[in-house]
Amino acid sequence: MEHTPKDQLLRDKILALHAAEHKDFGYRRIWGFLRQNGITVNKKRIQRIMSSFSYK
């Protein structure tokens, strides 16, 4: 499945959060953090994007 440019930007932001300090955050906490920072997005979209990359 190809991601839209908006999904790519969102994916980059999620990966940046993960790499920085929030490695144990799930999609709900990432969603809340993004929402606090003015990024309005559906939880299911965050979950779908996060499920596309591995956590090893």
Q: pTM (2 decimals)?
A: 0.75
| pLDDT score, position 38 | 92
6 pLDDT exceeds 50?
Answer: yes
Q: Which residue has the higher pLDDT, 19 or 36?
A: 36
Domain boundaries, the chain: 5-51
For residues 15-22, give the mean pLDDT: 79
5: confidence class by pLDDT, cuts 50, 70, 90:
confident
Candidates 19, 3, 10; CA nearest to 39 is: 10
Candidates 7, 43, 8; CA nearest to 27 is: 43
- CA 51 to chain CA centroid, nearest Å: 9
1 pLDDT exceeds 60?
Answer: no
In the chain, alpha helices (H): 5-20, 27-36, 43-51
4 pLDDT exceeds 90?
Answer: no
